[in-house]
Structure 1
Amino acid sequence: MTQFAHDTVVPVKESDLTKKEQVAEMFDDIAGRYDFLNRFLSAGIDIRWRKKALKQLAEKNPQTILDVATGTADLAIMASDILKPAKIVGIDISNGMLNKGREKIAALNLQNTIELLNGDSEAISFPDNSFDAVMVAFGVRNFQDLQKGLSEIRRVLKPGGKLMVLEFSKPKVIGVSAFYRLYMNVVTPAICRLFSKNVGAYKYLNESIQKFPERKNFTNILDNLGYQNTYYKPLSLGICSIYCGEK
């Protein structure tokens, strides 16, 4: 399968570990501060992004949902409230993030609706045609093999099922683009030094965004993998984008 530029972006270039192993290790390390830094660095806008993304699935009224790269289960918890499915399964390669997610799920008494499992996007341990919808928020950049992960997602979707991806993108408006570069290259690392020992995690975030095949390039990948009715929607002047496709 085709390798994309972001597939080769890793948190630590000198490491002998694979991208997948490095990403799991990185998220284990920042799990305790992940939710706080997300809210802080985005000024809470990421919550609005997630709500808009979930609206893309509402028309399907999905009863079984797979949340790939679920992290601390933010999207799964919000989906439970907004979409009210019978079952959500969240998978992630970071046990540290999953443990934080399980704490949040238990506090909200959602254990009967949301189940979190250690799982790999490129080898999803469910049969073909298992889910009405699959969603990924800020996770596809971390796939070691983007095409393989998206192919696996299509495999476990039921016919007519919908994929929704929420991911960072690069703004195109000149003034916004310049501010965005300043924020990502200077402000974000400075803030992370105050609250996290792992500043490298946020440098990796920026580099993986820069090399990610965004907008039409991403929907073209979905088209080539057999997804139908693909589209994308930029959010917040293009800082983030929603991508969708159906099986």
Structure 2
Amino acid sequence: MTDFPHDSIKPFSEEGPKKVQVSEMFDRIAPRYDFMNRFLSAGIDRSWRKKAIRYFTKDQPRIILDVATGTGDMAIQANRMLAPEKIIGIDISTKMLAIGREKISKEGLNEKIELVSGDGETINFPDATFDGVMVAFGVRNFENLDQGLREILRVMKPGAQLVVLEFSKPRIPGIKTLYNFYMGVVAPQLAKLFNQNKQAYQYLNESAKAFPDRQLFVDILNKTGFSNTYYQSLSLGICCIYSARKRA
């Protein structure tokens, strides 16, 4: 297995597994996670999710896995747009899942969307279970990216599509400077102002900067065994959608 720089970036300290720290971090920020997402992105994150989900439109997958589902935003939106038979969301943060279940219950979607405790690097489902898999802002939190992608590939049906939504690094000089200042200084200070965990948003910035984005991630997907891989840059390079398929 291959190690990548972001695999070793942890939210709190060098001691202890990344996975445990990420779970603890999301448990801490869970109560205001949705609010901070909307606030820090000025609501753009919603349009990013919709664009990513549209990649499944032609496939019309019946059973979808949402890895690192968090509070279930991606799963709820996918249900609205795709109307699949079932969406299963997995996450390692119990408090994020609890909030997600409340949202799903309010929407009356308990029969359509199921959120379960689960690790994207050891997915507790048989081979070739899912017609489609999606991951929104979760792959950079894997402790071992290579293992996580192999697990995702394993549970996909032949021909199924993986869609990944993840932060990337802007390349336009002026935009890059503004983005780095916002993510490195403004976002953590705003998080502190709203009594959120400042370290969590510093970790977000550091892990996003270290993540192998654009063609680098496409190359990793290819090496893992995916095919038909490509990416689309969004919002001046702040974010990317990646698409890949399991060979039929």
- TM-score, with normalisation over the residues of structure 1? 0.99
SS at match of 1:76: helix
Distance, in Å, in 2 between the alignment partners of 1:180 and 1:164 is: 24
Residue-by-residue CA offset, 1:199-225 (whole Å, 9 max, x unaligned): 000000000011000000001000001
* CA-CA distance at 1:149 after TM superposition: 0.3
Partner of 2:173: 174
Instruction: For residue 195 of structure 1, report the CA deviation from its aligned partner.
Output: 1.0
Residue 10 of structure 2 corresponds to 10
Which has the higher mean CA deviation after the structures are superposed, 122-131 or 191-200? 191-200
Question: Over residues 24-82 of structure 1, what are the superposed CA-to-partner deviations in whole Å (9 max), with x where a residue is unaligned?
Answer: 00000000010000000000000000000001111111000000000000000000000
Q: Give ranges in structure 1 of 5+ residues lacking alignment.
A: none
| Structure 2 gap segments, 5+ residues each | none
After TM superposition, give the deviation of residue 238 of structure 1 in Å. Answer: 0.5
Counterpart mapping for 1:140-159 below 5 A = 140-159=139-158
1:115 aligns with 2:114: yes
Q: Secondary structure at the match of 1:232?
A: strand
CA contact (8 A) 1:30 1:196 kept: no
Distance in 2 (alpha carbons) for counterparts of 1:120 and 1:229: 26
Runs of 4+ with >2 A deviation: none
Looking at structure 1, the residues matched to 54 and 189 of structure 2 have their Cα atoms a distance apart, in angstroms, of 34
Q: Any idea what SS the aligned residue of 2:24 has?
A: helix
CA distance in 1, matches of 2:239, 2:65: 21
Displacement of 1:196 in angstroms is 2.8
Q: 2 CA distance for matches of 1:197 and 1:232?
A: 32
CA distance in 1 between counterparts of 2:117 and 2:3 reads 25
Between the aligned partners of 2:22 and 2:182, the Cα distance in structure 1 is 23
Q: Pairwise mapping of residues 1-247 of structure 1 onto structure 2 (< 5 A)? A: 1-14=1-14, 16-247=15-246
3-state DSSP of counterpart to 1:221: helix
Deviation track 1:171-194 (CA, whole Å, cap 9, x = no partner) reads 001111111011111211111111
Q: 1:37 corresponds to which letter in structure 2?
A: M
- Backbone CA RMSD of aligned residues: 0.7
Secondary structure of the equivalent of 2:51?
Answer: helix
Instruction: Give 1:46's aligned amino acid.
Output: D
C-alpha distance in 2 between matches for 1:241 and 1:112: 31
Identity %: 58
| 8 A Cα contact 1:69 1:136, kept in partner | yes
Shift of 1:17: 2.0
**CA offset digits 1:94-147 (Å, max 9, x no partner):** 000000000000000000000000000111000000000000000001000001
Asked if 2 retains the 8 angstrom alpha-carbon contact of 1:28 and 1:95, the reply is yes
Structure 1 residue 13, shift from structure 2 partner? 1.9
Normalising by structure 2, what TM-score? 0.98
Which region of structure 1 is more displaced relative to structure 2, 178-187 or 155-164? 178-187
- Paired with 1:161 and 1:245, the residues of 2 have a C-alpha distance of 9
Task: Please give the alpha-carbon distance, in whole angstroms, between the structure 2 residues aligned to 1:186 and 1:148.
Answer: 32
Amino acid aligned to 2:55: Q
Aligned residues: 246
